[in-house]
Structure 1
Amino acid sequence: MSGKFIVIEGLEGAGKSTAVATVSGWLEANNVSYIKVREPGGTPFAEALRDIVKSDWQEQVTPQAELLLMYAARVQLVENVIRPALQQGTWVIGDRHDLSSRAYQGGGREVDASVLQQLKQFTLQDFAPDFTLYLDINPKVGLSRASHRGALDRFERSKIDFFTRTRNRYLEIANTEANIAVIDAEQSLTDVQQSIVSALEQQWPA
């Protein structure tokens, strides 16, 4: 029996780390073996690309270069870690996946959707998560939370309009694809955790 791939998505400050911990706890309570991965990253090569894409440079990082780096890191992670784990029956919890590029580069950077689809088909083909939890938050609230964690990276210092476009694209996609659950990330921590568990139990009833 193959494993399942659960992805956590959301803007900066939405609480993805807490969501990953909540999903981990749910899997452990159900005696399911799992691993955790993050994007970009998850392999030595992909982690190096993460450092590149999040760092500051004296030149402008174009949307095209950013997008290509994201998919390069993603396909390395999928082929070297995620697919093998799923084939062995291990579940995978992903901190971001392809939906991030569709929202951040497609919505935020305004890269044409047809380009994203071609790149996804070239790198991932039909590979996709079994279930995605999208943590929805007002960008101003999320960035305020993120600022308390320390210095902001290149992405986190983007203008608010960028994050507004990104959030709108997230919601647009979530409202049209059945395997995405929208979680109100501005609820109390307890309510967010309960919403996540409820979504998981609805997806995989006991």
Structure 2
Amino acid sequence: MSYKWLEWAKRIQALSQSGLAFSKDIYDIERYEELRTISAEIMEEHTGLEMQKIEDLFTNETGYQTPKVDVRGVVFKDDQVLMVRETIDERWALPGGFCDIGLSPSENIVKEIQEESGYDVVPIKLLALLDKDKHPHPPEAHHYYKVFIQCEIIGGNPITGIETSGIQFFSKNNLPSLSTNRNTESQIITLFEFLENPKKETIFD
């Protein structure tokens, strides 16, 4: 799904942030600050969010703008995949979340799966590295990469966490109502291809 206004706003914001990070000239700094304001105005016009909230969202970012990273765990059992129900929207997603500073992607997903489902796992394969903008997720102010890592259960018991209200395994043909901010149906279906063909190569973009 294409949201050209959002693509423009995000690109302008990224360029302005990079300019503010590296510019020393006061006049250039003024121009980059104006560009950041323009990007916020575009967001306000099309989303209805208050300008102050948008400015806070953008001005809290510093340094060279890069995509944020969201890591998701893919745990198969009896031809089904592990999913957790998110308390924020009561919809289902692969366990995971934003990568924490100081942890590798595999360390992050082990932590996230344990916190959200109660299972102890070991990572075994990188399945996919996807650009969120190239998949049918709802529009977002920031640019995200999504990392899908296959894991195996080695212990633990199903226990909900602070952010989850349900834990269950689902088959490919019986998926629940999905939290599309976190994963889409087409992504889940594609991930099942790795269960059907363990030699399938990692996918990207």
Q: Shorter-chain TM-score category?
A: under 0.3
TM-score (norm 2): 0.26
Which structure would you say has the larger RCO, counting Cα contacts within 8 Å and 6 or more residues apart?
1
TM-score (norm 1): 0.26
Larger Rg, first or second structure (1 or 2): 2
Relative to its length, the structure with more strand (as a share) is 2
